[in-house]
Structure 1
Amino acid sequence: MQCFKCGFEFSPQAGACPRCKERDTPTGTRRLPDLQSSETQNLVHILPCPNCGFILFPSSRTCPACGKLISQSAPGFAPRKVSADPKQTATNIFLLLSGVVLAILLYYLLKKYL
């Protein structure tokens, strides 16, 4: 939402402009996003089927509309090498095991007292 007095953008839940404290901001003055901007175009990556133009998911291997096999070398489908960070992997394993232990303890406690 945009304040009609000072032009500052703020959340509609705020109730008043945090910059100028104006409370009488009409609800109809929201600024719409510019869908033609380069920022929006970089966020949205549309992958059409080369055969029929149907919009595909990046993980699609075949087009659900026409059945055409999508090549791995098509734009957006290039394979990437993903290297695992050892610290992050160790943290994820620790959290997973902690969750399993907690679930087992909770199961036995509930079984004992219920």
Structure 2
Amino acid sequence: MRPPASRHFATCGICQRRADGIGYAPEGRMPAVWVCNECGPERARQATRLRAFDAVERQAFRIAARRAGEFLDTIGKTDFALLTREEYEGFLGAFQAHFVTEIRRLVEGEAIG
């Protein structure tokens, strides 16, 4: 059981993208959980209240990996050694986009549920 993944001011503690100087300090105590504009302080508050942020993070990772795999299916390649640079970057971009979407969705859903 641990709080959101990063307490570093430059990395969003929820989605791991670039933080935008917005921080949430649980119960007003430092260190703050730094977040990007899209995740915002409300999601940071929700994330810090989760009992098992690690489990939420792993679930988002699994969903994103599956969806990034679907990208590989659309280009008809599953062997990373055969991917062009553009295809590999497309795969990574698909993974990142889906991870960000899923981690935000799951943080909101877990906080409600």
Could you state the TM-score of these two structures normalised by the residue count of structure 2? 0.26
Could you state the TM-score of these two structures normalised by the residue count of structure 1? 0.26
Higher helix share: 2
